[in-house]
Amino acid sequence: MNIFLTGSTGFLGGKLIKNLLQNERNEVYILVRNVEKAERLRDSFQLEEQGRIHIFQGDITIPDAGLSKDDVEWLTGKIDAVYHLAALVKFDLDLRDELFAANYNGTMHILELAAHLQVKKFYYVSTAYTVGKLSVGVEELYPPEGEFNNPYEESKVKSEHLVFSYRDKMDVSIFRPAIIVGDSKTGEADSQFTLYGFMRALGVFKRKTARRQGEERNYRLVAAKNGTSNLVPVDYVADILSLAPDKAHPDKIYHITNPNPPENIELLKVIKEALQFEHLEVVETTGEYELDEEEIMLNGLIDVFKVYLAGALTFEDRNTQELIGGTEVAHLELRDETIDMIIQAGCDSNGGKIII
């Protein structure tokens, strides 16, 4: 197959390309803003594989993804499937316009391009957190006017509806990963993934408070101890996505989630140990205490992540279990020791400094 990808220079994109190239008849065409970064990615592959990676400079926020007329003409009729991975993943309320420009308008431009190129299959990588303020995630479209925790979630829900509106032009399928973390075998990860942003914020606070000599005190972090964090290793996500050309059904949504996610209290314990932040204490949101000025600053640093520490979401994944049936991809079983390894791999063992 000839497969076109956006978001290909990210860590997930690189893993997916590697999987797709295992079929020696596949060619991948990647849309990138930074050609040098794309060339470095291509150079990391075997020589034979490099010849099957084709780089096109563009920008999803521009009509035709910023491709030249010559590029569009050359690609027309040649592409079998499109993976749309590119997205802006930020949770700040004041970034709504920027998020919709990248996530909604960007998706619209790629859909229009795919239709122009006469593509047969379109795979949209969304997020499991389109669930918004509901407690159970289902493998169906959510209402576009639902209750959301932030404009990122809203932009992805409305983009999913946009994708389904193109069902008469091509086969469309949606994949919804939860919180993507490092590789389950090596721990290697991308520092842009959300868990590592949370860890970086804690690391910054730890370094600021560590400068004070001789002060021994605990700092309270507000979180629901029995809430859960739905972590999925990047290689599991890439393995499921790479099954799409052969096994994905049109008009279906696939959750790429963890059926047994770790509780926040256990995850934060691992993060504390990895960061060597022994004075961090987790407290419930009971309202029976007052945070001091420094604790307010600590909780403010991670404010955009708080909603994801507040509850125990569950996700159906029957469609995904059907997708992986009869393949070498096993349903996710993320062991405690694997989580420990992934967290530790994101930290320097000397002093808890984030190195990714």
CA dist list (Å): 239 to 76, 176, 233, 236, 259 = 28, 13, 10, 5, 17
Q: For residues 330 and 235, what is the distance between their CA atoms, to the nearest angstrom?
A: 12
The residue behind tokens 């949504």 is 253
pLDDT in tens, 306-333: 777 777 899 999 999 999 999 999 999 9
Give the model's pLDDT for residue 133: 93
**Whether the Cβ atoms of residue 196 and residue 346 lie closer than 8 Å to each other:** yes
144-180 confidence digits (pLDDT tens): 999 999 999 999 999 999 999 999 999 999 999 999 9
Q: Which is nearest to 260 in space by CA: 346, 339, 175, 344?
A: 339
| In the chain, where the domains are located | 2-177, 185-229+262-311+334-354
- Pick the more confident residue, 211 or 88: 88
Q: Express each pLDDT in 252-280 by its tens digit.
A: 999 999 999 998 888 888 998 888 888 88
* Whole-angstrom distance, CA of residue 298 vs CA of residue 293: 9
**Torsion sign (Cα): 192, 194, 199, 205:** positive
Q: Give the model's pLDDT for residue 356.
A: 33
**Distance from C-alpha of 301 to C-alpha of 232, rounded to nearest angstrom:** 24
- Amino acid 282: pLDDT: 82
Task: Report strand pairing: 347-348 vs 353-354.
Answer: antiparallel
Res 279: pLDDT: 87
Region of poorest pLDDT, from 5-14, 216-225, 309-318: 216-225
Q: Which CATH architecture has domain 2-177?
A: 3-Layer(aba) Sandwich (3.40)
Specify the DSSP class assigned to residue 214.
T
Check if the beta carbon of residue 109 is closer than 8 Å to that of residue 87. Answer: no
pLDDT at 188 exceeding the cut of 90: no
Rg of the chain in Å (alpha carbons)? 21
187 neighbors 234 (Cβ within 8 angstroms) = no
State pTM to two decimals: 0.93
Q: Residue range 43-66: average pLDDT?
A: 96
Query: What pLDDT is stored for residue 39 in this prediction?
Result: 96
Residue 244 CA to residue 271 CA, distance in Å, equals 34
User: Which distant-in-sequence residues (6+ apart) come within 8 Å of 51 by Cβ?
Assistant: none
What's residue 196's pLDDT?
84
Q: How confident is the model at residue 74 (pLDDT cuts 50, 70, 90)?
A: very high
Please compute the mean of the pLDDT values over residues 336-349 and round it to a whole number: 83
What's the pLDDT at 164? 98
pLDDT greater at residue 310 or residue 85 = 85
Predicted pLDDT at 2: 98
